[in-house]
Amino acid sequence: MRQLLTAYRQQMQHELTNILSYWINHTQDIVYGGFYGKIDNANYQHIHAPKGVVLNARILWTFSEAYHTTGYESYLEMADRAYQYLLHHFFDKEYGGVYWSVDYKGAPLDTKKQVYAQAFVVYGISAYYQCRPDKAVQEQAIALYKAIVQFSYDTVYGGYIEALTREWNPIADLRLSEKDANERKSMNTNLHVLEAFTTLYRIWQNDVLKQRIAELIRIFLQYITAEDYHLLLFFNDEWQPKSEIVSYGHDIEAAWLILEAAEVIGDNALLEEVKAWSVSITDAAAEGLDEDGGLWYEYDKATNHWMHEKHWWPQAEAMVGFFNAWQLTGNAKYLEQSVQTWEFTRNHILDKEGGEWFWGVKEDYSIMNGEDKAGFWKCPYHNGRACIELIRRINESLSHNSTLEN
């Protein structure tokens, strides 16, 4: 067991270096600032592509955490670059909050206030503050958190609505992307609001913030989790489900993120409840595993249709989520599954010639063409975070011999 964990950690350290080297070497827009808005599978840089705030915020978070983990100055330089670009181009100086996108020169493009995006900027800046403990940085994260609460919090039913106009008024199209349902609330946005609030709490131990984190955890347990322990995806204001699609990647991601939130706020009674929930949702997510260790993307209960694709990010989340279940239970099957998913990823998702990870593969293992290597949704966040999390968790496990004896 110790030998397996040591090898796994070494592979994660190596892969983290590979991922971050790709982003340092390929994504910096030297002419117009920040980072290119799109790089395709052939590593062609689309220099005139719009730049998304989620990409920029996730770069900020990843390199901040990587610097915090390794101390490498080149990672801090990338975090500085992402922070400065966010500050000067994405922040709405008139109405507050951040824009969804800017053009390749950095001028506002889509100015709506997508709550998911606001959350990711809180997430990124909170992580950055741990590298650059400047009061002004902390205050920016707090101000954005307060805007999320002021404009999107549902004071009647709890949780956070999807989107608003630039001026924080109601908006007709609430969708995060074209494939999403146009509903008032989603699992995805509320999960990442929780993630952002948890990271903010690490740098700002505010009692009201703690209460909001606990409330969101309970909403996940009570409303967002179905009886079969899959997450429901879309809702109206009253938390009535509006979708029957199972997203295996989100299931396994939530399994460890919500546990982390309960741990950070130190609510012991809630934490014990979440531990049991976490194992149950991990087992539900395992229904999406293929024999090769890869995790399928989606299943539609209403039509009995499987989306037989294996995207990069569910594999990254599965690596962490199954390892988390092993830490909770000591059951070796979960550790084995984490390693098997990594082996699948290493064999089929990594671009061994061009660097980084491909978007995904189809059922016959052919690469999904026409997708981004870097873009609005393709960032170093899921795979970089998986490496960072596993390095940290393996270090913890190796320092506790009792864990290895189970």
CATH of the domain at 46: 1.50.10.10
Rounded CA-CA distance 142/49 in Å is: 31
b/e for 17-50, b at 16 or more Cβ within 10 A? Answer: ebbbebbbebbbbeebbbbbbbbbbebebeeebb
Q: Around Cβ 402, how many Cβ atoms within 10 Å?
A: 7
Rounded CA-CA distance 385/405 in Å is: 27
Query: So what's the pLDDT on residue 406?
Result: 46
Residue in 8, 2, 1 with CA at minimum distance from that of residue 343: 8
Residue with tokens 């699992």: 187
Q: Would you say 395 and 5 are in contact if contact means Cβ atoms under 8 Å apart?
A: no
Tokens matching residue 189:
């946005």
Looking at the 3D structure of the chain, how many domains does it have?
Answer: 1
Q: Which domain holds residue 191?
A: 2-405
Q: Would you say 28 and 81 are in contact if contact means Cβ atoms under 8 Å apart?
A: yes
> What's the one-letter identity of residue 182?
N
Q: Please tell me whether the overall predicted TM-score, pTM, comes out greater than 0.85 for this model.
A: yes
Tokens matching residue 126:
């909170």
Query: So what's the pLDDT on residue 398?
Result: 96
Query: So what's the pLDDT on residue 400?
Result: 87
Rounded CA-CA distance 53/59 in Å is: 10
Mean pLDDT by 10 residues, the chain (406 residues): 97 98 98 98 97 98 97 98 98 98 98 98 98 98 98 98 98 95 98 98 98 98 98 98 97 98 97 98 98 98 96 98 98 98 98 98 96 97 98 96 54
